[in-house]
Structure 1
Amino acid sequence: MALKTIQAPLPGTFYRSPAPDQPSFKVEGDTVSVGDTIGLIEVMKTFVPVAAEEAGKVVAFHVENEDAVMAGQPLYDLEG
């Protein structure tokens, strides 16, 4: 199975859950389908969903909740 590293599409703050008191969208080991939300990137009070473009399994995250990210920075690894 191929391992693919998914990168941040834009700079901002990465959130792994929809709200502080809510569970993460996905965690390591979860399977994802095309269109599943993996996280959110906040840019100037606008939240942009990071959606899976391929089906597979989340192997590892490269960033933590509320980490600042730059466009092109690795977010997570997907095994497909």
Structure 2
Amino acid sequence: MAIIKIEAAMPGLLYHKPEPDAEPFKTPGDAVAVGDTLALVELMKSFVPITAEVAGRFRGFLIGDGEDLEPGVAFCEIEE
């Protein structure tokens, strides 16, 4: 089994949830399908979804909810 680190393509604030009171898009152990939304990145008041390009099992976030995200930085892991 390989562990895939998902990296950001753009800078911004990383959000694990679609809304402050909602559940996270994924929690450790959840199944991940290609196209599933993993998180949102806020850049200049626009929210861009980050979707999975691989299927597997979600291992967890590497960056906290609402924290800064830079391009090329891994923010979560998926186990294939």
Percentage identity across aligned positions? 41
Which aligned pairs between 1:24-63 and structure 2 lie closer than 5 A?
24-63=24-63
Q: Where in structure 2 are there 5+ consecutive unaligned residues?
A: none
CA displacement 1:12-39 (0-9 Å, x = unmatched): 0000000001110101111110000000
Q: Does 1:3 align with 2:3?
A: yes
For 1:60 and 1:21, locate their aligned partners in 2 and report how far apart those are by CA, in whole Å. 19
Moved >4 Å (runs of 4+)? none
For 1:41 and 1:77, locate their aligned partners in 2 and report how far apart those are by CA, in whole Å. 16
Q: Shift of residue 7 of structure 1?
A: 0.5
Cα RMSD over matched residues?
0.7
Aligned residues: 80
Q: Shift of residue 60 of structure 1?
A: 2.4
The TM-score with structure 1 as length reference comes to 0.96
